[in-house]
Amino acid sequence: MDFGGNESRLLLKLMSVCNLRQRVLADNIANESTPGFKRRVVRFEELLGKELDDAMSGSTSGNLARIEPRVEFDPTPPAGTDGNNVNLEAENTAMRENRMLYEAYAAILETRSNLLKASITESR
C-alpha cells in the first residue's frame, strides 16, 4: 500500500537527483586542474518543468515517473588554454544550492510523513 502518494515519490526522486548532482559536482571540483576536462551538469528540473507544462496543456499525460535525470557535458567554452571549463567558485555555489534543495526536500517529506502519522494516530 502506498501511503505517500505521487508527491512523496516526487520528493524522493528530487532527493535522489540531488545526490547524483552532488557526485557530479564533486567530480567537477576534483578535476578542476585536469587539462581538457569538460564539466558535467545534471539536467532534471527543466525536464520536469517541461513535462508539467505539457501535462497542463493536455499534450501529454503528465507521467512524472518516466522522467529521469540526464548527466550532460556543459558546452561553456573553457576560460583558459588547457581546455578545462570548470569554475571552482561556480561549482562551490552550485554545491551549496544543491545542499539547500536537498534539505528543503527532506524537510517537506518529513512534514508530510508526520502529518500522515498524526492523522493515523489521532483517529484511534
Q: What is the pLDDT of residue 54?
A: 76
pLDDT at 1: 40
Exposure b/e, 45-75, CB count within 10 A at least 16 = b: eeebeebeeeeeeeeeeeeeeebebeeeeee
Position 67 pLDDT exceeds 60: yes
65 versus 104: the higher-pLDDT residue is 104
Which grid coordinates belong to 92? 562551490
With 0-12 / 13-18 / 19 or more C-beta atoms within 10 angstroms meaning exposed / middle / buried, residue 39 is: buried
What is the rounded average pLDDT of the residues 68-77?
94
Poorest-pLDDT segment among 3-7, 72-76, 96-100, 114-118: 3-7
**Cα(84)–Cα(37) distance, rounded to whole angstroms?**
5
DSSP 55: H
Q: 8 pLDDT exceeds 50?
A: yes
Mean pLDDT of 32-60: 87
What's residue 60's pLDDT? 63
pTM value is 0.84
Cα 80 from Cα 37, distance rounded (Å): 12
Asked whether the beta carbons of 25 and 40 are under 8 A apart, the reply is no
